Chains A and B, each alone.
Chain A
């Protein structure tokens, strides 16, 4: 969205309180290989805002920026964590108000580290590693479509991702190097977290939601090897961080599952 449109949306957003029927759209569960619905979901739950989760095959095309998942609140559609954070802030809910300037700088820096390293590594492993791409990713990505659309879309997506990797210089990296980078990133996050319950001591912030979302996704998705999840599990404080957040904020899913509610039950760390 351009800056003017963003400011306009924020103004409209500020006018209304959070509605009860806010919805989060994500692709079909079997479809996307590594789903990142956990990130905005975790953030909204940390803010205490109710949201339903809906699975749709064409979620990627419904989203305004092409990124999934996205939320539909009132008559606005917002995708990606950054705009969602701004949107909820305009409505008066924010997790990072208590931080001073230096802490805010650190938080943004760490969020970029996660985006830069973990997200790019996830994309690389899914689409640029030939084994994973052919056995898992392309099958899952093209499953809702019939022939020949499934082939075309899968190869188109793969081509796009590989172009992006070329542009940022990841094309020359081997798989081992990518795993190394992920380990270093996890080490850095682990050092920052230390023994605290959240990254900025007592209160969760959007950084906690982002880290949880990525780590949870990696830990609970099946790939050709378990190398990636093993690297994360080697940082024990990150593992207990994920479990703690899942227990605190996603616990009610288990209770409402038997009641057959609209909350879609996802995989679990337990």
Chain B
């Protein structure tokens, strides 16, 4: 039986006031904070995992989960659900906005950090090379940059007809439009759906925070983001409220109590959004039977000091 330790999450380390410089790791870390899940953050910096592991990766018992969407689904299934308060329509909106981020914003972000020559040589490559053990520092940045470039070309350009220069203009204008749309949608509220952060907030934070905080020598997209004050304020608020000590998952006692209360409330409610969707898809007596006989809580997910077992 595992002790009170939380699940290990492999991710890239932090810098520039952020808990992690890697977008996908940030998404998972932010969501874990919002949902009150305690994860042991294991930075892969300076280990051989920089080249062997798929990051981010959550190790649970004998298996592992990768990709932010899968990890979030996994956390939701284990009752760490930040989306509980959302209506079905808001859940649909979440899916749509995440698709918008992936299609419109991500190519430009990949380009800014990995393909743009000035940024890559003065910021990204030195950082990743410095945070990989010798001799991997020679290979890791190049590999990641190659993956980023091929992703942009395969999804945005009709390779091999177009080269990267022809699609650059298009992907940056798409990304600026996407930032504008996000800014319109956020408006003056604190988070995208009311006063509590949800998975959409985690995704937006994961994409925007590195762009907001990194000191990029050539950053037209960063300039554009800085003009959208509500999005900058959004990033700073989340950093302030949830990542008071950048890079560490432990928060102070008040925040732990607040999280504990919230978690107990969540646990006492009967269903969450994903189970509702699962029910719709597979509504069958067998599934209802499974819900009635909920397995005992896995000890490894207990937060510090929690005594009650869920219903």
Contact = CB atoms under 8 A, between A and B. Distances in A.
User: Is B truly associated with A?
Assistant: yes
Given A106-B96, A109-B93, A116 B103 contact: yes
A189 B277 CA distance: 13
B228 interface: no
Interface in B80-121: 88-89, 91-93, 95-97, 99-100, 102-104
B96 A109 contact: yes
Nearest to A177: B70
B239 interface: no
Contact of A192 (B89, B155, B185): B89
B107 to A, nearest CB: 11
B154 interface: yes
A108 interface: yes
B99 A116 contact: yes
Contacts of A66: 158, 161
Contacts of A9: none
A66 B281 CA distance: 37
Contacts of A187: 92, 277, 280-281
A3 B173 contact: yes
Interface stretch (A13-21, A132-140, A163-171): A163-171
B295 to A, nearest CB: 23
A101 B169 CA distance: 23
Contacts of B104: 112
A153 interface: no
Interface in B172-200: 173, 177, 181-182, 184-185, 187
B96 A188 contact: yes
B224 interface: no
A164 B95 contact: no
Given A65-B158, A109-B181, A164-B154, A115 B103 contact: yes
Interface string A91-131: 00000000001101110111011011100000000000000
A221 interface: no
A184 interface: yes
A191 interface: yes
Given A104-B181, A105-B185, A184-B277, A110 B96 contact: yes
A4 B247 CA distance: 44
Contacts of B150: 167
Contact of B187 (A102, A164, A191): A102
Contacts of B96: 106, 109-110, 112-113, 188, 192
A169 B106 CA distance: 14
Contact of A112 (B93, B100, B166, B280): B100
B155 A164 contact: yes
Contact of B95 (A2, A3, A108, A185): A185
Contacts of B291: none
A31 interface: no
Contacts of B102: 112, 116
13 contacts: A3-B170, A66-B161, A101-B184, A105-B182, A105-B185, A106-B96, A109-B99, A163-B154, A183-B281, A185-B95, A188-B91, A191-B89, A191-B92
Which 9 A-B residue pairs are closest in the complex by CB-CB distance? A188-B92, A105-B181, A109-B96, A113-B99, A116-B99, A101-B184, A109-B100, A191-B92, A113-B96
Given A2-B169, A66-B161, A101-B184, 5 more contacts: A3-B169, A3-B170, A105-B182, A167-B150, A188-B95
Interface of B: 67, 88-89, 91-93, 95-97, 99-100, 102-104, 147, 150-151, 154-155, 158, 161, 166, 169-170, 173, 177, 181-182, 184-185, 187, 277, 280-281
